[in-house]
Chain A
Amino acid sequence: MTTTTLQQPGAPAEHEEHPKHNLTGFIIFLCSESVIFLAFFSGYALLKTSALNWLPNGVEGLEWRMPLINTIVLVSSSGTIALAEHFKNRENMALFRGFWLMSMAMGAYFLYGQAVEWSGLQFGFTSGTFGGTFYLLTGFHGLHVATGILLMGLMLIKSFIPGNYKGGEQGVQATSLFWHFVDVIWIILFLLIYVWQ
């Protein structure tokens, strides 16, 4: 992955990343990523409104209590991650790590709840358009939650490098933005799948 090996001695080695642009690039990425969800959401709505038999045979509807608890946990983790970021800015690394870890745990709980829900469902991925879109939407979102947890883990490890977060390091900010993004997507998803039945 290094570029320097390709360069002749004496050539300037100027082509490193420009950290101050990372956040700009990341925000542009999130805007773009939201369009995939928008495509899935509109596909879901279109298929649902035009379907003759939306639910597969024998399926009454989706149980919403467990997912609601899941939703509350995930949305609250947006608060804890904001707190973590706040303490990072005040250079209180202990509280930063505490709240950061808590957000990770809440994300993990969400994924666990999702797995429990999936395993108890009466329908599969190929059970008509309802099954397909349900697993596609929740699965694709779940993939983002997992990515978020991984990113948070990475940032947690990086926080143990002495002085790493003093120079305006933007990984924390970007991860936190990503996590809020994942939450907002989930709220729309919850309304679309569980509330609108």
Chain B
Amino acid sequence: MTIATFPPEPTPEQGWGRYFGFCTDAKVIGIQYIVTAFFFFLIGGLLAMVIRGELITPASDLVDRAVYNGIYTMHGTIMLFLFIFPVLNGLNNLLIPTMIGAPDMAFPRLNAVAFWLVPIFGFLLMASFFVPGGPAYSGWWSYPPVSIQNPVGHLINGQGMWITAVALSGVSSIMGAINFVTTILRMRAPGMTLFRMPVFCWTALAAQSLQLIGLPALTGGAIMLLMDLTFGTSFYRPEGGGDPVLYQHFFWFYSHPAVYVIILPVFGIFSELFPVYSRKPLFGYVYVALASFIIVGLGLIVWVHHMFPSGVAQWMRNLFMVTTMLIAVPTGVKVFAWLGTLWGGKLRLTTPMLFCLGGLFNFVFAGITGIMLATVPVDIHVSNTYFVVGHFHYVIYGAAVMGIFAAIYHWFPKFIGRMPYEGLGKLHFLLTFIGANLNFLPMHPLGLTGMPRRVSSYDPEFTFWNVVASLGAFLLGVSIIPFLLNMLSAWIRGPKATHNPWNAIGLEWLLPSPPPEDNFGEEVPTVISRPYGYGSGQPLVEHQDEIERRLALQEAAA
């Protein structure tokens, strides 16, 4: 491929307007996703503050018990369907096309429709706070028979709106997944074979394949739930011959893999960032890449471990205990590879690197409690206690959200064109790391000693750890302030970023910051080696020196 006119003319400033409209540019959609996700993150976080405020004393004294049920249900639903999934799809939109050298996603219009469904179902979910009877109150999993009660008797009720919103979220995610998979399979740069693809793309491919396989099962199950709730069928109604456990199968067949949909891209982020900030190639690249797909395969056959106390047969419990524990093997391969990457490296403790290290630390801890939970006798003992809540939040906040923050700090200069501030970033890291551990660690002793989840009052003997957890939660609440300050001020008046401020290797770092609208356009460089060639001196693409020289010239001229 020639690079006659490289780098392309920078796209003229297009103003803020396009972020509020139907735009088909993946880089705009990516930012739309991320900003929308953080808007809902604040709402979900506020609900978490109310929950922890209620739990700081043993008595139920802050909110009504019925309101409390609605609050924890909506906290979980918002954080998963309106924060984590959209923010990851935002990163996918920004990173996949630039990392593989594609001008855009395969289906730009579908991409925009998938995004705009998010505010629509987000609005639907928020509106459910204001209907008679309040929002859904059956927990984020909406198990029947609780979720098929309609005591108010209105056709429009919180639970029905919840199911509709989740189904719409599924439609949006499927549209996204079709787009991401097609883009990765069909639009890679010349010379970029699958085994020259950055690990983030591998993990995105794995995660999106899981969406495609798992999500329709949940959608099917949710359709039946909505019919039971609204039209009086009895798929899950025992008095009509139905089976409530059937819903649990549908729900967990997707919702367990959903955890891998969340954590796999974060594995990808770790695999991208550790080499950059330790100046070494990723240890065992091929195994890290392939382990993602072993996780996909195993991840689809572990779901019954959420149902050990639900009256499933003993042989099923044994089988799913074994498959669940096997997941530790490919995951362990990855953790080993990251440690191998860090070993003897020249570590640069920038904000993104700190978030990665903190996330890895929390993830290993969550993995250990995960193995405990996979063990049938332990699981039945701690089922529905705070031990499960603690484990889950270590995975999602401790590992996934910290990984997402790392990604935002790392790629912010690339896509915004300005540098975030290191001091505020490090303060954000410190508050997040301490806050998360202070918040979620006490949940483990609480659960082991028998404190049930989803209660607004508890035995006074649990007070001490609950106070500690609540203080941690408030610290997490505060931690978001330096983050928002950093993002806003950096976006408005941060120092201009060069094309490669972290000295990283990757196609996205061979583009100007921010990249022009169609990235490389027609002049996609030919990839000639594997990613992460740190210290090898081997170029990633043909004409690499010339490309970098011209980018530097363009920057000097600006």
Binding site for B on A (CB under 8 A): 1, 3, 6-8, 10-12, 14-18, 20-22, 24-25, 28-29, 31-36, 38-40, 43, 46-47, 50-53, 125-126, 128-133, 136
Q: How far is the CA of A136 from the CA of B243 in the complex (A)?
A: 16
**Can you report 28 A-B residue pairs in the complex whose CB atoms are below 8 A from each other?**
A1-B22, A6-B22, A11-B11, A14-B521, A15-B24, A15-B25, A15-B518, A18-B187, A21-B187, A24-B182, A28-B181, A29-B178, A32-B174, A35-B213, A35-B215, A35-B220, A36-B217, A39-B221, A39-B250, A39-B253, A43-B221, A46-B243, A47-B235, A50-B243, A126-B232, A129-B234, A129-B243, A136-B227
A residues near B234, Cβ cutoff 8 Å? 126, 128-129, 132
Q: Please provide the 4 A-B residue pairs with the shortest distance between their CB atoms, ordered closest to farther.
A: A39-B220, A35-B216, A132-B233, A36-B216
| Mask: chain B, 233-263; 1 = CB below 8 Å from A; 0 = not | 1110000111100100110010000000000
B246 touching A32 by the CB < 8 A rule?
A: no
B residues near A3, Cβ cutoff 8 Å? 22-25, 108-109, 112
Most B Cβ at <10 Å: residue of A1, A6, A47: A6
A6-B17, A6-B18, A39-B220 provided; 12 other pairs, C-beta below 8 A? A15-B108, A18-B107, A21-B107, A24-B182, A32-B177, A35-B217, A35-B220, A39-B217, A40-B220, A46-B249, A129-B235, A132-B242
A residues near B18, Cβ cutoff 8 Å? 6-7
For A129, the closest partner residue in chain B by CB is B241
Q: How far is the CA of A39 from the CA of B235 in the complex (A)?
A: 13
For B110, the closest partner residue in chain A by CB is A25
Q: How far is the CA of A10 from the CA of B174 in the complex (A)?
A: 34
Residue from A8, A21, A28, A33 in contact with B216 in the complex, judged by beta carbons closer than 8 Å:
A33
Q: How far is the CA of A50 from the CA of B249 in the complex (A)?
A: 15
Query: In the complex, how many angstroms separate the beta carbon of B345 from the nearest chain A beta carbon?
Result: 38
Q: Does B103 contact A (CB under 8 A)?
A: yes
The secondary structure that dominates the A interface is helix
- State whether A12 and B220 are in contact (beta carbons under 8 Å apart), knowing that A25-B182, A29-B178, A129-B240 are contacts in the complex: no
Q: Does B536 contact A (CB under 8 A)?
A: no
Q: How far is the CA of A10 from the CA of B109 in the complex (A)?
A: 21
Q: Does B231 contact A (CB under 8 A)?
A: yes
B residues near A24, Cβ cutoff 8 Å? 106, 182, 185-186
For B20, the closest partner residue in chain A by CB is A6
Q: Which of B90-145 contact A (CB under 8 A)?
A: 103-104, 106-110, 112
- State whether A25 and B241 are in contact (beta carbons under 8 Å apart), knowing that A1-B22, A36-B217 are contacts in the complex: no
A residues near B214, Cβ cutoff 8 Å? 35
A28 touching B242 by the CB < 8 A rule?
A: no
Q: Does B21 contact A (CB under 8 A)?
A: yes
A32 touching B231 by the CB < 8 A rule?
A: no
Residue from B107, B233, B241 in contact with A52 in the complex, judged by beta carbons closer than 8 Å:
B241
- State whether A43 and B518 are in contact (beta carbons under 8 Å apart), knowing that A11-B14, A129-B241 are contacts in the complex: no
Binding site for A on B (CB under 8 A): 11-12, 14-15, 17-18, 21-25, 103-104, 106-110, 112, 174, 177-179, 181-183, 185-187, 212-217, 219-221, 223-224, 227, 231-235, 240-243, 246, 249-250, 253, 516-518, 521
B108 touching A46 by the CB < 8 A rule?
A: no
Q: How far is the CA of A33 from the CA of B517 in the complex (A)?
A: 33
The secondary structure that dominates the B interface is helix
Q: How far is the CA of A190 from the CA of B103 in the complex (A)?
A: 46
B residues near A125, Cβ cutoff 8 Å? 231, 233
B12 touching A11 by the CB < 8 A rule?
A: yes
Q: How far is the CA of A130 from the CA of B242 in the complex (A)?
A: 9
A6 touching B21 by the CB < 8 A rule?
A: yes
A32 touching B104 by the CB < 8 A rule?
A: no
B residues near A11, Cβ cutoff 8 Å? 11-12, 14, 517
B residues near A52, Cβ cutoff 8 Å? 241
Query: In the complex, how many angstroms separate the beta carbon of B247 from the nearest chain A beta carbon?
Result: 9
B residues near A136, Cβ cutoff 8 Å? 223-224, 227, 233, 235
Q: How far is the CA of A125 from the CA of B220 in the complex (A)?
A: 17
A12 touching B11 by the CB < 8 A rule?
A: yes
- State whether A18 and B106 are in contact (beta carbons under 8 Å apart), knowing that A32-B174, A38-B217 are contacts in the complex: yes
B residues near A22, Cβ cutoff 8 Å? 107
Residue from A8, A14, A15, A25 in contact with B178 in the complex, judged by beta carbons closer than 8 Å:
A25
B residues near A36, Cβ cutoff 8 Å? 216-217, 219-220
A residues near B249, Cβ cutoff 8 Å? 46
A12 touching B241 by the CB < 8 A rule?
A: no
A32 touching B227 by the CB < 8 A rule?
A: no
